[in-house]
Structure 1
Amino acid sequence: MSRVGLVPFSTTLYYISSWLLLRTSSRLSILTNNLGASSCSLFFFPGSSCRCLCRSLSGGGLHKLQTMAQPQDVVVRDPEALEKKITAVREAGPIKLQVIADFDGTLTKYWIDGRRGQSSHSLLQQGNPEYDAKRMELFEYYHPIEFSPTIPIEEKTKIMEEWWEKAHGLLIEGGLTLDAIKQSVSCSTIGFRDGVIEFLEFLQEKDVPVLIFSAGLADIIEEVFRQKLSRSFKNLKIVSNRMVFDDNGHLISFRGKMIHVLNKNEHALDMAASVHDQLGDPNGLNNGGFSVKKRTNVLLLGDHIGDLGMSDGLNYENRIAVGFLNDNIEKSLKTYVEAFDIVYLNDASMLGVVDLVTELCSS
Structure 2
Amino acid sequence: MRPGGLCRIHHAASLASAASIALPCFPPTTFPPPAFRCFRPGTPRAGGGSMDSTTMSPPGVAVRDPKSLVEKKTAIRCAGCSKLQARSPIFCPLLPLCLCNLSVIADFDGTLTRYWIDGRRGQTSHGLLQQGNAEYDARRQALYEYYHPLEISPTIPIEEKTKLMEEWWEKTHGLLIEGGVTYDAIKKSVSEATIAFRDGVVELFEFLEELDVPVLVFSAGLADIIEEVFRQKLHRSFKNVKVVSNRMVFDEKGCLVAFKGKTIHVLNKNEHALDMAAPIHDKFGYPNGYNPDSVLMKQRTNVLLLGDHVGDLGMSDGLSYENRIAVGFLNNNTEMSFKSYLDAFDVVYLNDASMRGVVELVSQLCAENQ
The answer to whether residue 332 in structure 2 is matched with residue 327 in structure 1 is yes
Checking the alignment, whether the CA contact within 8 Å between 2:76 and 2:100 is kept in structure 1 is no
Closer, same or farther in 2 for the Cα pair 1:160/1:72, shift >3 Å?
farther
How far apart are residue 158 of structure 1 and its match?
2.3
Matched, 1:87 2:74: yes
Quick one: distance in 2 between partners of 1:103 and 1:247? 29
Q: Equivalent residue for 2:115?
A: 110
Report the secondary structure of 2:104's partner residue.
Answer: strand
Superposition map of 1:183-332 within 5 A: 183-265=188-270, 267-272=272-277, 278-279=292-293, 291-332=296-337
Summarize deviations over 1:292-334 as a string: whole Å, max 9, x none.
3321100011112221111112111101111112223222222
Counterpart code for 2:38: C
Larger deviation, residues 304-313 vs 197-206: 304-313
CA distance in 2, matches of 1:356, 1:310: 20
1:131-150 equivalences in 2 (<5 Å) = 131-150=136-155
Residue 165 in structure 1 maps to residue 170 in structure 2: yes
Alignment-mate amino acid for residue 293 of structure 2:
L
- Identity of matched residues, %: 69
The match for 2:36 is 50
Partner in structure 1 of residue 131 of structure 2: 126
Residue 27 of structure 1 corresponds to which residue in structure 2?
none
Q: Distance in 2 between matches of 1:188 and 1:206?
A: 32
Give the total of aligned pairs: 308
TM-score by length of 2: 0.77
Provide Cα deviations, 1:238-260, integer angstroms capped at 9, x if missing partner: 11100011111111110100000
- The CA deviation at 1:149 is 4.2
Q: Which ranges of structure 1 fall in alignment gaps of 5 or more residues?
A: 1-8, 15-43, 56-60, 281-285
- Provide closer, same or farther for how the CA distance between residues 333 and 154 of structure 1 changes in structure 2, counting only shifts above 3 A: farther
Instruction: Classify the secondary structure of the residue corresponding to 1:327.
Output: coil
Q: Report the CA distance between 1:152 and its aligned residue.
A: 3.6
Q: CA RMSD in A?
A: 2.5
1:133-191 CA-to-partner distances (Å, cap 9, x unmatched) read 22122223333443444544333322222221121111111110000000000000011
1:277 touches 1:292 (CA, 8 Å); kept in 2? no
Aligned position for 2:11: none
User: Which string of whole-angstrom CA distances, capped at 9 and with x for unpartnered residues, describes residues 67-99 of structure 1?
Assistant: 9xxx85212211111110001111222241110
Displacement of 1:65 after TM fit? Answer: 1.8
8 Å CA contact 1:72–1:348 kept in 2: the answer is no
Q: Give distance in 1, aligned partners of 2:179 and 2:186.
A: 13
**2:122 counterpart letter in structure 1:** G
Extract unaligned runs of 5+ from structure 2: 1-24, 49-57, 81-98, 279-285
Which whole-Å deviations, capped at 9, do the CAs of 1:235-294 have from their partners, x for residues lacking one? 1111110001111111111010000011112521243496996439xxxxx9xxxx3332
| Aligned 8 A contact 2:37 2:63 in 1 | no
- Write the letter of the residue equivalent to 2:79: A
Check the 8 A contact 1:51/1:64 in 2, yes or no.
yes
The DSSP-based 3-state class of the residue aligned with 2:229 is helix
- Distance in 1 (CA, whole Å) between partners of 2:29 and 2:259 is 51
**Take 1:209 and 1:236, find their aligned partners in 2: how far apart are those partners?**
6
| SS across alignment from 2:44 | strand
